[in-house]
Amino acid sequence: MPETATPIDKRPMVLLTPAFIAIMALVVIPMSFILVYSFYENVDLAVDRVAFQFGNWEQLFSDNYYHSAIWKTLKISVVVTVLAAVLGYLPAYFIAMTTFRHKWLLLLLLILPFWVSFIIRTLSWIHILGNQGALNGLFQWLGLADAPVRMMFNEFSVMVGLIHVFLPYMILNIYVSLEGIDRNLEPAARTLGATPWQAFREVTLPLSLPGLAAGSLLVFVLTGGSYVTPLILGGPSDFLFGNLIYDSVVTELNWPMGATLSFTLLVLLGSVVILYSRFMGLNQLSKAFG
C-alpha cells in the first residue's frame, strides 16, 4: 500500500506573516539602524560622521555616570513594581470576587484614566502634592502642619507618578488571573479546615501568581523606559536612564551616543523579559489580555 504524503498545513505561516512583517519593519529594522548609528561619531552638535568606531560604547562602559543611572533606574523600577503589586492586588481581588451585578462598570472605571492624556495625569500630582496642593491644604485646615509639607519634586513624587500611571496594567493582569480561578476552590479549602487567610495564601495567591508576574513584568519594563514622569515630578537628581537618552538626542544633539544608550536600555529591559520568559513563560502575558 503506497504511503500518502501528509500535506503541509500552511495556515500558521500565513497567519503569522503579517505579525512577522510588522515586527521586522517596526522593531528589528529600526533597532538595527540604531545599533549601526551607535558606531557613528558625533563631530559637533547635530553633526555626525559615518564611521565604525567604539568610542560611544567605551564611554558607556567606562563612565560611572551611566552606571549610576542604570542602578538608579533598576532600583526605582523594582520599588515601583513591588508597590504596584501590593497596591494593585486588593482592587483586582475585589473586582474579581465581587458579586456586584455591573462588574463591567468597575472595569470601565479602571480604564477610564486612559482617556486622559498621560502628561495631564502626571501633571495633576502638582495640584495634589504641591505646596498649594490639595493635601497640603487639608493638612493645614486640620491643623496638622503650619507650613506646607514638601512632597513634590523628589523621588517620592516620581514614584507616586509612576505607580499612578502604571497601576491599571498591574490590576488588569492580576484580575484576569483571579477571574480564571475556580470559585469553588477557596470554599473547598475552608471545608477542609483552612482559615480564610490560609485559603487565600495557599490556594488563591499561588494560582494568581502568573497574573501578578505578568503585571510585574509590564510595570517593571514600562518604568525602566520612562523619562517624562521624572522630568515633570522629579527634582534635579531624580532621573532615569531614559532621561540620559533624551539629553543625548534632544539637548546635546548627539545621536550616536543616544543610539548607544537606547540600545543599552533595550538590551537591559529585553534581558528582564527573557528572564521572565525563562521562568514564567510569555504565554501568561497573552492570558492577561484575554
Partner 1 sequence: MTRKMDSTKRYEKLREAVGNGDVDRRTFFGLLGSAGITAGLSGGIMTAMAGQARAAGAELHFEGWGGVVSEALRKHAFDPYEEATGNEVVDATFGGENEVLTKIKAAGSTSGHNILHSSGVSWYKRWVDNGYHVVLNEDNIPNLEHVMTAMIEAFRAITPDGLSAVPYNYGTTGIAYNTKHISEEKAKELGADLLLDKELKGKIGGWGGDWANRAWYGALQSGQDPNNIEDWDAVWDKAREHRDLVLKYWSSGAELMDLLAKEEIWVTEAWSGRVAALQAQGHPIGYMDPPNGLAWMESMFVLEGSPIEEAEELLNFMLDPETSIAVAAGQKYPSALDPTKIDMPEEVQNLPAFDPTGKLEALVFRNPETWNPHEKKQGAMWNRVKKGG
- With 0-12 / 13-18 / 19 or more C-beta atoms within 10 angstroms meaning exposed / middle / buried, residue 103 is middle
Q: Using CB under 8 A, pick the residue from 45, 50, 142, 192 that binds partner 1.
A: 45
Alpha-carbon distance of 22 to 196, in angstroms, equals 48
Per rule CB under 8 A, count of chain residues that contact partner 1 = 36
Quote the cell numbers at residue 249. 538626542
Output 133 or 215, the one with its CB closest to partner 1. 133
Q: How far is the CB of 218 from partner 1 (least distance, A)?
A: 22
By CB under 8 A, tell whether 105 contacts partner 1: no
Q: How far is the CB of 253 from partner 1 (least distance, A)?
A: 6
Output 116 or 138, the one with its CB closest to partner 1. 116
Q: How far is the CB of 130 from partner 1 (least distance, A)?
A: 6
Q: How far is the CB of 272 from partner 1 (least distance, A)?
A: 24
By CB under 8 A, tell whether 115 contacts partner 1: yes
Window contacting partner 1 (CB under 8 A); options: 2-10, 85-93, 205-213, 239-247 = 239-247
| Residue type at position 146 | D
Coil, strand or helix: which one is 133?
Answer: coil
Residue 270 · residue 28 · CB < 8 Å? no
By CB under 8 A, tell whether 123 contacts partner 1: yes
The CA distances from residue 242 to 174, 228, 252, 261, 273, in Å, are: 27, 9, 14, 8, 18
What is the number of other CB atoms lying within 10 angstroms of the CB of residue 173?
Answer: 29
Quote the cell numbers at residue 97. 470576587
Q: Using CB under 8 A, pick the residue from 28, 86, 138, 250 that binds partner 1.
A: 250
Residues near 204 by beta carbon (within 8 Å), at least 6 away in sequence: 93, 178, 181, 185, 186
Q: How far is the CB of 81 from partner 1 (least distance, A)?
A: 23
Helices (H), the chain: 11-23, 29-37, 55-62, 64-97, 103-111, 118-129, 134-141, 155-179, 185-191, 196-199, 205-224, 228-233, 241-246, 255-279, 283-288
What is the number of other CB atoms lying within 10 angstroms of the CB of residue 278?
Answer: 9
By CB under 8 A, tell whether 70 contacts partner 1: no
By CB under 8 A, tell whether 8 contacts partner 1: no
Window contacting partner 1 (CB under 8 A); options: 74-82, 205-213, 235-243, 276-284 = 235-243
By CB under 8 A, tell whether 50 contacts partner 1: no
What is the number of other CB atoms lying within 10 angstroms of the CB of residue 41?
Answer: 16
By CB under 8 A, tell whether 262 contacts partner 1: no
Alpha-carbon distance of 227 to 81, in angstroms, equals 16
By CB under 8 A, tell whether 128 contacts partner 1: no
Output 70 or 213, the one with its CB closest to partner 1. 70
Binding mask 142-181 for partner 1 (x = CB under 8 A): --------x-xx----------------------------
Residues that bind partner 1 (CB under 8 A): 42, 44-47, 65, 69, 115-117, 119-120, 123-124, 126, 130-132, 150, 152-153, 231, 235-237, 239, 243-244, 247, 249-255
